[in-house]
Structure 1
């Protein structure tokens, strides 16, 4: 895999998909439908998925592709693959809360090694550079030429007062009970894969997720966090969260900055 080409293609496709999404976001009708698992899907999900998939298949025809919106891709059996959630945080999108993202990632041998997370409504763009180091790009985004970037790095946590980020749409009592095991300085909520990015930038120390997620929800954020020095582990035994699992469903997990003293489940 040519990582320079990959970074350029993923970045450009995410920005182009963001434009498609925002055109629909600013319209009167999202075209909301309900999928077989009772989760919502909009015209924005479908338009972004079609655009990203076509671009990735053209650029990397020999690499397996898994996307949330294409059920046929969910039977892919590969250790190395591209994985896409064209619109993560559909509920945030429908409710016009802005916390939705475009997620594109490369998984190699079960590990997300490269990824891009773009939040078009918030104007924030995070990705792994070709070197594997994660950056946040600022300013007006040119689709063909990367602008000014800042290298991202997790914070050095203070276990006497941790910054915690939790889900905005999927918060429950089990999550609150687990958070209660820590000394909390402050807590914030965010939607979609932005939670990984807040840990990656040092805006939070830990993000516990005690709820259903799929690999396309997490791979890009996982890659960005790893490139900033962070970790993602299973909630039950604190072993690394692996990818390419049967059905692409994740167990509960914890994303955090090294130095956080993890509490048992």
Structure 2
């Protein structure tokens, strides 16, 4: 493999990554804070790293050659996306505005007059404080993210169609080493762009916390739509 092709493959990976899809929807649904957003990215990267390991071991090609394997993976991945979408719609992120407001007692003291005739009055008042949005367990966020990318059949097709174009059978490196290198470049490109996406989303949502819930709902709808689209595409293919 010509190492001069690595920047070109990095650019191709970015083109694929910047296309909005299920990964985007998943990251945005967990952009309530930096830790949770980074956890969602970590889960996605674990899934992509798993695909790299499978491709390096030659199992991706074996999976593609196994009758019905890709179809089964597509249905499983689509069902998983639909489930995540439904979960996001049932429990959208955001401030629980319908919940009773917490109250915090605040002590206020009146200032005595210069004559000293007026007594000092101490008065307690209460100010409502909105509860913070509930945070998802980070381990669960990571696990779900790994499922989003790990069960995505489009990732398998990426490793089968684009990646081999940058592999040279006559190179000094073995095919496995070249595959591992290219897979690592793809994971690196994914990490760079998704980190930028997540930090931007977190910053925007910190300034406008009221859009937490709408973003979560839209993300759930998108994941549901992606899942339904995958199922519909496979059904049409099987009926041909």
Q: Please, what TM-score do these two structures have when normalized by structure 2?
A: 0.30
Compare the two structures and name the one with the higher strand fraction.
1
Give the helix-richer structure, 1 or 2.
2
Which structure has more relative contact order (CA 8 Å, sep 6+)? It is 2
Greater C-alpha Rg: 2
